[in-house]
Amino acid sequence: MHIQLLSIDFDGTLVSRAGEPALDTQCMELIRELQDAGTMWAINTGRSVDLLESGLTDFSFPIRPDFILTSERDVFRPGQNRDKWEAFGDWNERCARDHAKLFNSAQSVLAEVVDFVNQKTKARLLYHSQGLEGLVASDDEEMKRITEFIEQARTKEPNLNYQRNTVYLRFCHADYHKGAALAELSRLTEVPRENIFAAGDHHNDISMLDGQVAALPSCPANAIPNVKDAVRAAGGYIAQGEYGAGVYEALLHFAEK
C-alpha cells in the first residue's frame, strides 16, 4: 500500500495530552522520512491557523507540514514566503460564504441553543467577529446534554451542525468538516482515497476516519470509543500505543502492507 498523503489530527493524536514528551520522536522521524520520499503531510485540526502555528512552535516541531486543514474546514498550502499559509483554491471562500448564509438563516435556532446553554448549563459561549462560534462545556456530561438539545433543535435547520472535540464545540455547516476538507485536498493534490492515511482521536475526527475519504484510517489507543468503532468499521488500524506512538505504529502497519 503506497501512502501518498497523511491527514493527521494535532491535539491528542500527534501531540500528547498526557504530558511530556509531547511529541513521539520515532513518529516525527518516520513522517520526515515519508516526506523525503514524496509523501505529503497535512495536519487536520480544529485549531485556527494562528493557534496551530503557536502549537508548532510551542511543541518545537522538527518538521513543517505540507498542508494545514484548520478550524475543521479550511484548506491551506504554503505561500510564496514559505512561513505564511495561503488558501489552496477557492474552497475557503466558498466555505466562508456557505457559513455566512447558514448563520443568517439559522439565527432563531442558534438563539434557542444560546437560551438553553445560558439557562440550563454552566457552559461558556464563544464568540468571534462574525458572531457565535461555539462553546466550552464544564464536563462531558454537560456536553452530552447540550448536544442532545442541539440535535433536537437542528431538525428545523438541518444544515446547521457542530464539531465536537472533548469539551469544545464549534457550530458549522453540515457540508464542512475534517473529512470534507480532506476530500478537497485529495481532489487538489490528485491523491486518490486508496493512498490516503488518516489518524485522529475524537468526535471531530470521525468524518475523516469512516473510510469514505481515506482508505487507511487509524487511531491511537487514547482515542474515544466512538472513534475506535468508526475506525474498526472502516477496516482501519487501532494502535496499542497512545498519541504519536500510536500514529507511528499505524504508519508502519500501512507502510508494510
Minimum CB–partner distance for residue 226 and Mg ion (Å): 13
Question: CA-CA distances (angstroms) from residue 39 to 20, 32, 155?
Answer: 28, 9, 41
Q: Which residues contact 190 (CB under 8 A, 6 or more apart)?
A: none
Binding mask 3-22 for Mg ion (x = CB under 5 A): ------x-xx----------
Least CB distance to Mg ion at residue 15 (A): 8
Q: Which residue is nearest to Mg ion (CB)?
A: 12
Which CB, 161 or 222, lies closer to Mg ion?
222
Q: Are 241 and 248 in contact (CB under 8 A)?
A: yes
Dist. CA 126–CA 168, nearest whole Å: 10
Check binding of 170 to Mg ion (CB under 5 A): no
| Nearest-approach distance from CB 178 to Mg ion, in angstroms | 10
- Return d(Cα 75, Cα 70) in angstroms, integer: 7
Q: For the CB of residue 136, give the shortest distance to Mg ion in the complex, in Å.
A: 15
CB of 76 to Mg ion, least distance (A): 19
Question: Could you say whether residue 177 binds Mg ion (CB under 5 A)?
Answer: no
- Which of 241, 229, 218 has the alpha carbon at shortest distance from 6? 218
User: Which CB sits closer to Mg ion, 13 or 186?
Assistant: 13
Q: Does 72 interact with Mg ion (rule: CB under 5 A)?
A: no
Nearer to Mg ion, 103 or 134 (CB): 134
Which CB atom, from 11 or from 210, has the smaller least distance to Mg ion? 11
Smallest gap from Cβ 106 to Mg ion, in A, equals: 26
Binding mask 178-217 for Mg ion (x = CB under 5 A): -----------------------xx---------------
The least CB distance from residue 109 to Mg ion, in Å, is: 27
Residue 244 as a binder of Mg ion (CB under 5 A): the answer is no
Contact status: 74 vs Mg ion (CB under 5 A): no
Binding-site size for Mg ion (CB under 5 A) equals 5
**What residues make contact with Mg ion under the rule CB under 5 A?**
9, 11-12, 201-202
